[in-house]
Structure 1
Amino acid sequence: MDVNIYGATMPHLLADEGLGFSTGLAGTIGSWTTFGMLIGALTAGTLTDWLGRKPLVTASVLLFSLGSALCAVAPGAALFGAGRFVSGLGLGGLMPIGLAIVAEFAPPRRAALATGLMMTSYHAGGMAATGLGLALAPDHGWRLVFWAGVLPAVIAVPLVLKWLPESPGVLFAKGRTQEAYAVADRYGLDRPGTAQAPEASAKGRMSAIGALFAPGTRWATPLLWTASFAGLLLVYGVSTWLPELMRATGYSLSSSVTFLMVINAGGIVGMLIAGRTADRFGPVKVSAVWFLLTACGTFVLRAEMPLGAAYTVVFLTGIWLFSAQVMVYAATARVYAPRERATGLGWVTGIGRTGAVVGPTLGGVVLAGGNAGLGFTTFAVAAVLGAVAIGAVPLVSGRRRDPEPDAAAALLASDGRPSQS
């Protein structure tokens, strides 16, 4: 919701003369948010093994709520931009930690489905932001919409502090062995040992980063970064420019805006389908196939077709596009051992954020030439790049031989099926 509130209130921000917004400045501030998310993802993914999952989740929620409050009270564009940057730090930090928690606590045969279920909330939040913008901003002003972004600090943080379990591996690394065993027993997890426990020190944090390039993962790491880059380029590029691309293809303004709602609805359905399919066949295969189907869908949209057919293609493309990226995260959770998983997810999501910056810019450059077909072709090429990158991961990843491997870490070589070793 907080990510999408900015777009949902954009017409009202531009119309507020006291705020001093221009179209160019609005785009720059949008980039500040994405830059904050990149820093937040890299930082939180590295620090969470030292400070713990629960404190970092709490800090992330408080940060993006604080950022929303700064936007709500901002007298001008400078403080508003600072608020969006602070929001980005919290939003970027929350993603890899949430993914790491799901990977750790979900039943191994349902880990991809759990990841998909978690990520449906992104699209639900985006639709909620649109609803808030339509319901509140015209009569009550855009500031009230940003005040709604403060609610997580009031509602979610107390629930997180009371109910969110800490990682047994992190507790074990901190020497809180009995607490670690109690959490593991309560949630039906294997009791942690030294193989699952991250090193809770500065040296340990550097070791976790270095382990991303250890034998068995040194080639998988850049491939995962590339797949995440391509996936987020598609997510943000298509989300930003789909209405304009459809208008340039020949559809009306109202229909073009509706396409954005349709593709997000497809995204929710896609998370559920991809999660269940990945638990059976493995997230690497599903992500690669979904990227290729995304390439087909975006390429087909180059041609003007009857409105009903266009809605169908956009809906199907939404099913594949968003969940292709999420299955990259599910695959990442299986590539790295438990002690490096949060760091690995942090860097995959952080590096991927560069794609979130490039996607809207690239779409704008292509669309400025007036060729919608070239725009769709560009996104199709990015999808093929994502398919090649994620599809190559099993070819370069060695089988892990941790003395105490957990179920998720043992799945990579078989791409989602339990190994026989």
Structure 2
Amino acid sequence: MTAPAPPGRPHTFRSVLPVLALCWLAVFFDGMDVNIYGAVMPHMLDDPGLGLTASSAGTIGSWTTFGMLIGALTAGNLTDWLGRRPMLAGSVLLFSLGSALCAAAGTPALFGAGRFVAGLGLGGLMPLCLAMVMEFAPPRRAALTTGLLMTSYHAGGMVATGLGLTLAPAAGWRWVFWAGVLPAVVTVPLLLKLMPESPGVLLARGERAKADAVADRYGLARPTAVEAPAAGAKGRWDAVLALFRPESRWATPLLWLASFCGLLLVYGVTTWLPQMMRASGYGLTSSVSFLMVINAGGIVGMLIAGRTADRFGAVRVSAIWFVLTAVGALLLKSHLPLGWTYVVVAVTGVWLFSAQVMVYAASNTLYRDSERAAGLGWVTGVGRTGAVFGPWLGGALASSGNQSWGFTSFALAGLLGAVAIVLVPVAARLGGRGRTAPPAAQLTQPVKGNPA
């Protein structure tokens, strides 16, 4: 139950725009940082002074995502003490510092350390931004708002690719990483000055007056104790145990598996697409530009997926998108004419990235108010193991001369993700038999007052 919003303060899409805009900017730089590595990797492999090999490049990609895994799981604990706004600013500072370390690194080991530090910040940022926009968004627009947020990731990826195509050949790959320091200068002051704190987090910290004031200002329902994230180690452990109540005990690991597959695809493709396309016979410029094209497709996909999920349900959309991603990966294995290859890459981008985001939207519906933050955090955190595995797998295949098998591996991951997400509502219904209206009943339904 939630307290009613104050009269005259309707909870509309417009009310979430300030929070969405700030999170959009932060995630824009997140996407830029994640994609920078793939955009400049061909130049780094050609730099004899650095000594980077295909195998070590894959390992470094996995160190980045391993840092993201730690950052995602740690951010929730620190949020109890510091709040979401300071954690968002700290995450941006951390991945900007990592980018500076990469720019100054003289060996693969030091470069890998910089990517690990960047990963710590990147891992904490995404779940925090997702939680913020889902909390402030109107329930009927939860999936759409999530999709709009994630367009920023791909806009950042396109900018990273542009820097890889222009700045790296002209001034060297190091200057591309120096550009990754800009978020600390641009975004952090805006977050600290303009971003509101989460009403739920304020209430969990005992600041009832501040929580109500923020809720009133943005037209939100005032939070109640059942919606507030549990504080302290015991509260967090209880929140994790609640993810395995009868209605969700089987659906939870299936969501984790779908997230694993989705993030394996996202980070495997963004890290290795230029190099795999180069190994398939395309030129260096074309191979790097494919990364820009797939991110452009990702922006379109987020807008389509958000509206479609609001109408047909996040599970259906995610499953179909996973299957279409698998088809696109198999098509890319064939050496098509350059024009057709651009088309296939763009269309694959439409499905690839939003398939994973709709997994987040599905988890937002499965769990109760008091479980939602923990559920989303664990879906994101466990999924990061796929983000670790994807770049490593690409590096292992590249070092053995089997880059073309990367497309087949990504197609299999897409099919497995589709199976996992399709089984989520089935498992939820089986677990909820004999119980009253489990939240999972909304998983395959259009959004009608409940988040999707």
Offset of residue 62 of structure 1: 1.4
Q: What is the alpha-carbon root mean square deviation over aligned residues? A: 2.8
Q: Does 1:412 align with 2:449?
A: no
| Corresponding residue of 2:176 | 145
| Corresponding residue of 1:31 | 62
Which amino acid is 1:171 matched to?
A: L
Offset of residue 290 of structure 1: 0.9
Alignment of structure 1 residues 375-390 onto 2, 5 Å:
375-390=406-421
Q: Which region of structure 1 is more displaced relative to structure 2, 201-210 or 108-117?
A: 201-210
| Corresponding residue of 1:351 | 382
Aligned length: 412
SS at 2:246 equivalent: coil
Q: Distance in 1 between matches of 2:57 and 2:138?
A: 43
Structure 1: gaps spanning 5 or more residues: none
Q: Distance in 2 between matches of 1:193 and 1:381?
A: 44
| Corresponding residue of 2:267 | 236
Identify if the C-alpha distance between structure 1 residues 35 and 413 changes in structure 2 by more than 3 Å, giving closer, same or farther: closer
Q: TM-score, normalised by structure 2?
A: 0.82
Give % identity.
69
| Kept after mapping to 2: 8 A contact 1:298/1:376 | yes
| Corresponding residue of 1:283 | 314
Alignment of structure 1 residues 254-403 onto 2, 5 Å:
255-365=286-396, 368=400, 370=402, 372=404, 374-397=405-428
Q: 2:245 aligns with which of 186, 194, 214?
A: 214
Q: Distance in 1 between matches of 2:272 and 2:103?
A: 27
| Corresponding residue of 1:157 | 188
Which amino acid is 1:418 matched to?
A: K
| Kept after mapping to 2: 8 A contact 1:46/1:346 | no
Which amino acid is 2:421 matched to?
A: I
| Corresponding residue of 1:111 | 142
Q: TM-score, normalised by structure 1?
A: 0.88
Q: Does 1:204 align with 2:235?
A: yes
Deviations 1:183-238 (A, max 9, x none): 11111211111110122222112222222222322212111110011111222233
| Kept after mapping to 1: 8 A contact 2:62/2:390 | no
Identify if the C-alpha distance between structure 1 residues 73 and 299 changes in structure 2 by more than 3 Å, giving closer, same or farther: closer
Offset of residue 392 of structure 1: 1.4
Q: Does 1:70 align with 2:107?
A: no
Q: 2:114 aligns with which of 67, 83, 98?
A: 83
| Corresponding residue of 1:177 | 208
Q: Distance in 1 between matches of 2:443 and 2:54?
A: 49
Deviations 1:330-365 (A, max 9, x none): 112222233332322222122112212322343455
Q: Distance in 2 between matches of 1:144 and 1:100?
A: 33
| Kept after mapping to 2: 8 A contact 1:285/1:415 | no
| Kept after mapping to 1: 8 A contact 2:80/2:205 | no
Offset of residue 182 of structure 1: 1.3
Identify if the C-alpha distance between structure 1 residues 238 and 137 changes in structure 2 by more than 3 Å, giving closer, same or farther: closer
Q: Distance in 2 between matches of 1:279 and 1:307?
A: 36
Q: Distance in 2 between matches of 1:413 and 1:344?
A: 15
| Kept after mapping to 2: 8 A contact 1:411/1:417 | no
| Kept after mapping to 1: 8 A contact 2:38/2:274 | no
SS at 1:317 equivalent: helix
Structure 2: gaps spanning 5 or more residues: 1-31
| Corresponding residue of 2:129 | 98
Q: Does 1:55 align with 2:86?
A: yes
Q: Distance in 1 between matches of 2:169 and 2:407?
A: 33
Q: 2:153 aligns with which of 116, 122, 125?
A: 122
| Kept after mapping to 1: 8 A contact 2:251/2:428 | yes
| Kept after mapping to 2: 8 A contact 1:394/1:415 | no
Moved over 6 A (4+): none
| Corresponding residue of 2:17 | none
Q: Distance in 1 between matches of 2:351 and 2:132?
A: 24
Which amino acid is 1:119 matched to?
A: M
Which amino acid is 2:447 matched to?
A: R
| Kept after mapping to 2: 8 A contact 1:68/1:150 | yes
Q: Distance in 2 between matches of 1:303 and 1:17?
A: 31
| Corresponding residue of 2:41 | 10
Q: Distance in 1 between matches of 2:338 and 2:177?
A: 35
Q: Distance in 2 between matches of 1:239 and 1:65?
A: 19
Offset of residue 390 of structure 1: 0.9
